[in-house]
Chains A and B, each alone.
Chain A
Amino acid sequence: MSSSVEAITVLSSDGDEFKITVSAAKLSKPLNWMLEDVCFSDDCDEVPTIEVNSKTLVKVIEYCEKHAPRANSGASDSDAEELKKWDIEFMKMDVKDILFHILMAANYLHMEGLYDLACQTAADLMKGMTVSQIRKIFHIKNDFSSEEQEQLRRQHPGCSFD
């Protein structure tokens, strides 16, 4: 791999171009493979596409760039504390907005840290939600018949379908 390459260009699923540094790309196995392909390939004109939309990719790259120094070199406890605080700020997004897209992207890009963080954020948001709010954000239809609802209510008093 040529050491002169410091960043690569990738395309989002909407066709926008993004730059990602080599060290940040190492946080994701699929990105790392792309990186190697780009570096070894003679045909440098080809820009790889990542199946993640622009809005999400911005956030994913932001996460990678922030976490790359620590992931590549290891860091002190105070850095770890600082990074934790940063993660909390970073995750202050609405589930209706792009959290689920981030989850899908982290899963697709094999980014364990981001996936874990996004799952925990989703779980924390869901804690206080009603059943009907949950159905809305997950696009779920209530498929219980009225008899089944009645039966569930009998088995679990206080069980609410709304």
Chain B
Amino acid sequence: MKAATGGDNPYLPHEIIIDILKRLRVKSLLRFRAVCKDWRNILKSPFFIEEHYHRSAKKNPLLTCHVSNRNPIYSPLCLFRLEKETVEVERIHLMEFDFLRRVSSMIGSSNGLLCVELGDVKFDPPSSLFLLNPATREVMKVPRSTKDVRRCCHFGFGYSSVVGDYKIVMIHKERINSRSIICVDRVEVYSLRTGSWKEVEFGVIQGACFLYNPVAVNGAIFWLGIILEGEHCRRMIISFDLAMEAFTLIRIPSSAFVPRLVQYVLDVYENKLAMIHQYVNELKEALEYTFIDIWVLEEGSGAYGKSCSWSKKYGIRADPFSLRPICLWRNEIACFNPNDPDLLFSLTANNELKRFHQSLCQGYMPECFFYAESLASMCNTYFE
């Protein structure tokens, strides 16, 4: 039978086969590993995995977040897809991952891998860290550091293409006896390639207070923090270069201090660190409005020892007044409105407000990261 043998189909060259394969979802690609050795090797090559991820990030960008869990067959991890009218929410199925039910927080998302924490960090027994790829369903328990006491910890997770490695940063804090200040006591870094923890220098961040979740981009992790400078507390960006394993403090643009601050949110804009700055200002006749500015960290991008500067991408008036930015999504500002909890909003640079129906999160998305499906594996950390 002609059709059954592929007929007079031409043999396709390698590059065309790759161009087709990179348009397929991970689910199909996992199946096609069994086609032949050549395909199996394509599908596990760092080059292909990277090409596939970039396409998936562009064509099918998702947000992942942690929500309270009621359904016993799902983990508290959700994937959000923005459609034209609604937000489609997919909850990560548990199946063999029963332990995921106990996910207490998300630490980060990078190249399709998620770093999550199980249990409660503040109490004994100490919680555990896991890396997982929800698309391939690969999962790995991160070994415990020998000095792991976890009284009070901040975490970060990111990828550095310079060293071809994923790293988890764990910042331990300890109350200093003589004073009632909680200080950074020890910083440990886990490398997925070496499979071990090690201590790193943390001098510049000793008195730092960490706010909100970190953001990882361009081989660095960024936190919004408060640093004691002389008598004054100052908001700063704390960056950790994953290749150099060193901290740097970055000043927030001085014009982002004026008027009354509502909040800062860190995220990524065109592959650079971005700061969403929301503030209140009086426009006319004593009427107050909230405004949102997007600042982007240019050159050096927070890498250790390099200079950097901020540029303002755009500023818009947030209307209604109560809109609160959550993150950047497809270069728009995703917001929630406590007065309208069934909707997600997105504000464009032209100040157009789009509304999306969703029912899951009641407007509030506490730990929210960019995510796109990928074949990235914990066994092979190289991701060009």
Known contacts: A139-B6, A144-B36, A144-B37. The answer to whether A131 contacts B12 by CB under 8 A is no
Centre residue among B20, B21, B30 by max chain A CB count within 10 A:
B20
Q: Is the CB–CB distance between B17 and A138 below 8 Å? A: yes
Which stretch of A16-24, A62-70, A76-84, A115-123 is in the interface? A115-123
Chain A, 70-109, CB within 8 A of any chain B CB: 95-97, 100-101, 103-104, 107
Q: Is the CB–CB distance between A123 and B20 below 8 Å? A: yes
B3 in the interface (beta carbon within 8 A) = yes
Across the interface, which residues of A come within 8 angstroms of B38, CB to CB? 140, 143
* A122, A141, A143, A152: the one within 8 Å of B33 (CB): A152
B98 in the interface (beta carbon within 8 A) = no
Which stretch of A2-10, A27-35, A153-161 is in the interface? A153-161
Q: Is the CB–CB distance between A119 and B35 below 8 Å? A: no
Chain B, 12-65, CB within 8 A of any chain A CB: 12-13, 15-17, 19-21, 23-25, 28, 30-39
Q: Is the CB–CB distance between B36 and A100 below 8 Å? A: no
- Fill in one digit per residue for A131-146: 1 if any B CB lies within 8 Å of its CB, else 0: 1001111111111100
Known contacts: A101-B10, A103-B12, A139-B9. The answer to whether A156 contacts B17 by CB under 8 A is no
B283 in the interface (beta carbon within 8 A) = no
B7 in the interface (beta carbon within 8 A) = yes
Q: Is the CB–CB distance between B9 and A137 below 8 Å? A: yes
B99 in the interface (beta carbon within 8 A) = no
Q: Is the CB–CB distance between B34 and A122 below 8 Å? A: no
Across the interface, which residues of B come within 8 angstroms of A103, CB to CB? 12, 16, 20
B5 in the interface (beta carbon within 8 A) = yes
B258 in the interface (beta carbon within 8 A) = no
Chain B's nearest CB lies how many Å from the CB of A134?
5
Known contacts: A104-B12, A131-B34, A144-B36. The answer to whether A119 contacts B20 by CB under 8 A is yes
Across the interface, which residues of B come within 8 angstroms of A138, CB to CB? 6, 9, 11-12, 17, 35
Q: Is the CB–CB distance between A134 and B35 below 8 Å? A: yes
Chain A's nearest CB lies how many Å from the CB of B17?
7
Q: How many angstroms from the CA of A161 to the CA of B35 in the assembled complex?
A: 7
Q: Is the CB–CB distance between A107 and B36 below 8 Å? A: no
Q: How many angstroms from the CA of A5 to the CA of B253 in the assembled complex?
A: 61
Known contacts: A103-B16, A126-B24. The answer to whether A159 contacts B35 by CB under 8 A is no
Known A-B contacts: A97-B7, A161-B34. Give 14 more (CB < 8 A): A96-B6, A100-B9, A100-B10, A101-B9, A104-B10, A119-B19, A120-B23, A122-B20, A127-B28, A137-B9, A149-B34, A152-B34, A156-B33, A160-B34
Closest residue of A by beta carbon distance from B2: A96
Closest residue of B by beta carbon distance from A141: B36
Chain A's nearest CB lies how many Å from the CB of B120?
32
Q: Is the CB–CB distance between A140 and B36 below 8 Å? A: yes
Across the interface, which residues of A come within 8 angstroms of B24, CB to CB? 123, 126-127
Q: Is the CB–CB distance between B25 and A136 below 8 Å? A: no
Closest residue of B by beta carbon distance from A122: B20
B287 in the interface (beta carbon within 8 A) = no
Q: Is the CB–CB distance between A96 and B34 below 8 Å? A: no
Q: Is the CB–CB distance between A96 and B7 below 8 Å? A: yes
Q: Is the CB–CB distance between B30 and A127 below 8 Å? A: no
Closest residue of A by beta carbon distance from B28: A127
Closest residue of B by beta carbon distance from A105: B10
Chain A's nearest CB lies how many Å from the CB of B44?
12
Chain A's nearest CB lies how many Å from the CB of B358?
27
Q: Report 16 cross-chain contacts, Cβ distance below 8 Å, ordered by A residue.
A: A100-B12, A103-B12, A107-B13, A107-B15, A107-B16, A119-B23, A123-B24, A127-B25, A131-B31, A135-B35, A137-B6, A138-B11, A138-B35, A144-B36, A159-B31, A160-B31
Known contacts: A107-B16, A126-B28, A127-B24. The answer to whether A140 contacts B34 by CB under 8 A is no
Closest residue of A by beta carbon distance from B27: A127
Across the interface, which residues of B come within 8 angstroms of A96, CB to CB? 2-3, 6-7, 9
Q: Is the CB–CB distance between A134 and B32 below 8 Å? A: yes
B286 in the interface (beta carbon within 8 A) = no
Closest residue of B by beta carbon distance from A107: B16
Q: How many angstroms from the CA of A144 to the CA of B33 in the assembled complex?
A: 11
Across the interface, which residues of A come within 8 angstroms of B35, CB to CB? 131, 134-135, 138, 140, 142
Q: Is the CB–CB distance between B20 and A142 below 8 Å? A: no
Closest residue of A by beta carbon distance from B31: A131
Closest residue of A by beta carbon distance from B5: A136
Chain B, 139-175, CB within 8 A of any chain A CB: none
Q: How many angstroms from the CA of A126 to the CA of B20 in the assembled complex?
A: 9
Q: Is the CB–CB distance between A135 and B4 below 8 Å? A: no
Chain A's nearest CB lies how many Å from the CB of B369?
27
Chain B's nearest CB lies how many Å from the CB of A51?
12
Q: How many angstroms from the CA of A156 to the CA of B43 in the assembled complex?
A: 14
The 10 closest A-B pairs by CB, nearest first: A123-B23, A122-B20, A137-B6, A96-B7, A100-B9, A136-B6, A161-B34, A140-B36, A119-B19, A96-B3
Across the interface, which residues of A come within 8 angstroms of B34, CB to CB? 131, 144, 149, 152, 159-161
Closest residue of A by beta carbon distance from B7: A96
